[in-house]
Amino acid sequence: MSIEHSSLLKELHFGDWENKKWDAINHVDLQKWMNDFVNLSPHGGESYVALHHRTRQFLQLLKERNFGCVVLVTHAGVIRSIQSHIRHILLKDTFELNCDYGKVVKLIQNVEGREFNIT
């Protein structure tokens, strides 16, 4: 078994807001971002759309390479993004998905290697 790291599976980059408590961020800026967290980026960070683009790139890599069994360890935002793509859920609605800490989500590639399912 080998371990590979992929920057495509990193959590959302919050830029200047990284590691700050919500109440330490300018309320007006925070509210503006929260009103459209899908498309807007935190100061110096990336948008949820950009994160989603990365996760879709990773899924494409999985399709192109024959890994057999793969275990992914990643953050909730990435997991929600992957589920959005596979289940055809709008990004803005992904926070309705249950994604508790330590939750196991099974991503299964079909025999032809073209599609994924989540169980």
Beta carbons of 54 and 62 less than 8 angstroms apart: no
Q: What is the pTM of this model?
A: 0.88
Q: Which residues contact 8 (CB under 8 A, 6 or more apart)?
A: 54, 55, 57, 58, 61
Query: Which of 9, 6, 8, 5 is CA-nearest to residue 74?
Result: 9
Q: What angle do CA 116, 93, 20 make, to 5 degrees?
A: 105
Residue range 85-105: mean pLDDT, rounded: 91
Domains of the chain by residue range: 50-118
Phi, psi values for residue 87, rounded to 5°: -95, 0
Instruction: Give the chain's length.
Output: 119
Arithmetic mean of pLDDT over the chain: 90
pLDDT at 64 exceeding the cut of 90:
no
Q: What pLDDT shows up at residue 50?
A: 98
Average pLDDT over residues 87-104: 91
Is the pLDDT reported for residue 112 higher than 70? Answer: no
Confidence of residue 113 (pLDDT cuts 50, 70, 90): low
